[in-house]
């Protein structure tokens, strides 16, 4: 049995258990995250893209009659997401408070979220794919309700209701997918299901209904418009590590599920409902983008911004060609790193000033030059400035979507959606630069004269996240060459 894949979720999971049994919370959490990061990095670098397929796999049969087994393995896509998960988990663990009431429970919950996300990405079995994600949601709800800020109880209830409904819809869709397979061949094995798709198993009217269930189930978890209203309030109220992990990592579960299951298994159904996905993703980009401009607080701006940027990834998925889906996969990594860095910086601002309201801030670059610089880099990555991974990925998404042609049509729905997405870049530049100006420039109120800048010891997790954005911005092929063999099986 290959242990590397198992260590990506066992590192945080064992850390969570040890913390509950009295081990030092921060030290144990950081150790678990480091174990996961080293394992995921070896998997990412060690994945042989020339051979393709799933590698480092291991399976433990549980219910042979149902072909249910604990089955894990990686291809380029989930190896990339496991690396993202472990990197953000390490940053989140380091930036967790050193003194906090019930710190053991706090850090155990942080590690449980990381373990659930990693387990979901590593699983090649439908049952554990779903179960690990649900494991991550429970501590998310608890942390927002117990350790959150502002109107945390309302935010906790709202995210609980929305994501529970989304999970139920997703579960019904996964059951429907399982039942579409002939009795003698029924399996939870994702690899076998993908092989069956090539033989036309997932076609017909039932495929349309199952696809819609998966689209709305996964879509709700990703904050697809109009099922997005839970996200901004939840991220604004969440403790910093939770906002980093959920917005940066756990939200990618729904996108990963669409890439792994819904789109490749039911391509005809996906094609039939392309118009619906294009319509909704434009809502993410334009409607939510305009709502983001109206926000007066940094945490809400970042929350709405995260929802808006999901529209670009959905556009890549909707393109149904290799350029677009590769861009979407790369953007999942880029967005995860950039939004985690932005929430980490917003947490430091709140800790130093007690507020994130633009009307109360200003001129902080004089007191916090290093934090201002780091925020600027994260901001430029978020709005897609060249040199960052977001730029390379968004460019691929736009090229992929725009090249998808409808025979006989001079200008089709894909191209209209792409034009709207290009206007979204202008919108995102407006609200992010406005936030930068409001917080760090202009007149500095006298009460912020003695605000302390972030130290490099506290800022290195943010530097690590930004270094990833810059590296993959200049060398996107490092990710794309890993991802492409798996994508090329289903898209051209």
Confidence of residue 405 (pLDDT cuts 50, 70, 90): low
Q: What share of the chain is helix, strand, coil (3-state, %, to 5)?
A: 75, 5, 20
Q: Give the chain's radius of gyration (CA, Å).
A: 21
- Whether residue 349 contacts residue 371, with contact meaning beta carbons closer than 8 Å, is answered with yes
Question: Residue 111: its pLDDT value, please?
Answer: 95
pLDDT greater than 60 at residue 408: no
| CA–CA gap between residue 75 and residue 61 (Å, rounded) | 21
- Whether residue 370 contacts residue 457, with contact meaning beta carbons closer than 8 Å, is answered with no
pLDDT greater than 90 at residue 412: no
Task: Name the more confident of 449 and 318.
Answer: 318
Question: Residue 409: its pLDDT value, please?
Answer: 59
pLDDT greater than 80 at residue 229: yes
Residue 182 lies in a domain: no
Confidence of residue 406 (pLDDT cuts 50, 70, 90): low
- Helix and strand counts by DSSP (H, E) for the chain: 22, 2
For the chain, the straight-line distance linking the first and the last C-alpha, in angstroms and rounded, comes to: 34
- Cis peptide leading into 453, omega within 30 of 0? no
Residue 90 lies in a domain: no
Question: Residue 100: its pLDDT value, please?
Answer: 67
- Whether residue 319 contacts residue 414, with contact meaning beta carbons closer than 8 Å, is answered with yes
Residue whose pair of structure tokens reads 């390490």 in the numeric block: 90
pLDDT tens-place string over residues 257-313:
999 999 999 988 988 898 899 999 999 999 999 999 999 999 999 999 999 999 999
Tokens of 317: 């998925």
Average pLDDT taken over every residue of the chain: 90
Confidence of residue 204 (pLDDT cuts 50, 70, 90): confident
Phi, psi (rounded to 5 degrees) for 71: -125, 120
Domain that holds residue 486: 273-492
Confidence of residue 1 (pLDDT cuts 50, 70, 90): low
Please name which of 420, 411, 401, 406 lies closest in space to residue 491, comparing C-alpha atoms. 401
Residue 476 lies in a domain: yes
Task: Find how far residue 219's CA is from the centre of its chain.
Answer: 12
Residue 420 lies in a domain: yes
pLDDT tens-place string over residues 55-84:
998 888 888 878 788 999 999 999 999 999
Compute the average pLDDT of residues 233-245.
91
- Whether residue 248 contacts residue 292, with contact meaning beta carbons closer than 8 Å, is answered with no
- Structural domains of the chain, count: 1
Residue 412 lies in a domain: yes
Residue 150 lies in a domain: no
Q: Cα dihedral sign for 110, 465, 294, 391?
A: negative
Residue 317 lies in a domain: yes
Helix or strand (DSSP H, E) at 373: helix 369-382
Strands (E), 210-251: none
- Whether residue 367 contacts residue 443, with contact meaning beta carbons closer than 8 Å, is answered with no
Tokens of 163: 């994501």
* Packing angle, helices 298-318 and 389-403, rounded to 10: 40
Residue 123: strand pairing partners? 72
pLDDT greater than 60 at residue 407: no
Tokens of 168: 């139920």
Task: Name the more confident of 320 and 6.
Answer: 6
Residue 378 lies in a domain: yes
pLDDT greater than 90 at residue 351: no
């Amino acid at each position: 049995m290959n242990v590397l894949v198992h260590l990506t979720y066992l590192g945080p999971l064992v850390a969570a258990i040890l913390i509950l049994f009295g081990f030092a919370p921060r030290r144990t959490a950081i150790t678990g995250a480091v174990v996961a990061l080293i394992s995921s990095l070896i998997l990412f670098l060690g994945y042989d893209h020339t051979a393709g397929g799933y590698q480092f796999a291991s399976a433990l049969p549980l219910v042979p009659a149902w072909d249910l087994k604990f089955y894990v393995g990686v291809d380029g896509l989930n190896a990339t997401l496991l690396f993202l998960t472990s990197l953000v988990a390490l940053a989140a663990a380091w930036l967790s408070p050193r003194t906090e009431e019930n710190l053991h429970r706090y850090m155990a919950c942080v590690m449980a979220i990381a373990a659930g996300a990693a387990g979901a990405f590593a699983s090649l079995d439908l049952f554990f794919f779903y179960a690990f994600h649900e494991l991550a949601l429970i501590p998310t709800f608890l942390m927002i309700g117990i350790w959150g800020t502002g109107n945390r109880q309302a935010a906790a209830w709202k995210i609980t209701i929305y994501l529970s409904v989304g999970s139920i819809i997703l579960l019904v869709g996964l059951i429907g997918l399982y039942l579409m397979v002939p009795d003698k061949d029924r399996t939870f094995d994702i690899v076998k299901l993908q092989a069956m798709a090539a033989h036309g198993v997932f076609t017909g009217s039932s495929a349309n209904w199952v696809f819609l269930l998966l689209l709305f189930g996964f879509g709700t978890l990703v904050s697809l418009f109009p099922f997005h209203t839970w996200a901004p309030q939840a991220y604004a109220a969440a403790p910093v590590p939770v906002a980093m992990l959920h917005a940066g990592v756990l939200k990618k579960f729904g996108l990963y599920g669409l890439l792994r299951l819904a789109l490749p298994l039911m391509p005809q159904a996906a094609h039939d409902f392309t118009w619906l996905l294009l319509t909704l993703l434009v809502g993410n980009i334009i409607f939510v983008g305009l709502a983001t401009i109206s926000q007066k607080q940094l945490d809400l701006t970042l929350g709405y911004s995260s929802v808006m940027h999901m529209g670009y990834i959905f556009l890549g998925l909707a393109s149904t060609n290799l350029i677009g889906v590769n861009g979407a996969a790369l953007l999942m990594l880029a967005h995860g790193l950039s939004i985690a860095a932005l929430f980490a910086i917003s947490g430091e601002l709140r800790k130093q000033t007690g507020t994130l309201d633009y009307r109360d801030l200003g001129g902080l670059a004089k007191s916090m030059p290093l934090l201002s610089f780091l925020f600027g880099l994260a901001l430029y990555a978020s709005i897609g400035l060249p040199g960052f991974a977001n730029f390379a990925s968004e460019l691929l998404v736009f090229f992929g979507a725009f090249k998808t042609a409808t025979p006989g049509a001079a200008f089709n729905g894909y191209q209209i959606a792409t034009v709207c997405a290009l206007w979204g870049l202008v919108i995102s530049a407006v609200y992010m630069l406005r936030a930068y100006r409001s917080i760090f420039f202009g007149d500095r109120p006298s009460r912020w004269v003695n605000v302390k800048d972030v130290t490099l010891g506290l800022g290195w997790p943010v530097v690590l996240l930004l270094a990833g954005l810059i590296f993959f911005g200049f060398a996107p092929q490092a990710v794309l060459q890993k991802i492409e063999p798996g994508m090329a099986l289903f898209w051209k």
